[in-house]
Copies of this chain bind each other. A is one copy, B any other.
């Protein structure tokens, strides 16, 4: 059983920052974002709370991009796109996956499936534009 959690101003702030952005931030990004308003915040606290939020199911990991784990405050199922050039992670809310897919995989392979991730890799619009500009 997870021990009781008390209120904490910094914990609240960390969750708010994650929920207020759609860039799927890393721990470091959250830390930098909060530093101005919480000068005494430490990176360890960010990591500890990210881990807590994950255990509680309030946020999810989108995976590791360029060595840094990226998080998503939206836990409803949706797909992601990862730019291999700049590391941007974006939501693809319009790309729906079959709702029964998890269950079908369970049946077919005899596994217990909790969730799935559909991730597209490529080059984002920004980077495509920059690459183009560079060539000219």
Contact = CB atoms under 8 A, between A and B. Distances in A.
A57 interface: no
Given A64-B64, A94-B108, A95-B108, A120 B116 contact: yes
B120 A92 contact: no
A117 B116 contact: no
A123 to B, nearest CB: 4
Chain A contact-residue range equals 20 to 34
A117 to B, nearest CB: 5
A121 B57 CA distance: 14
Interface in A104-130: 104-106, 108-125, 128
Contact of A118 (B108, B111, B117): B117
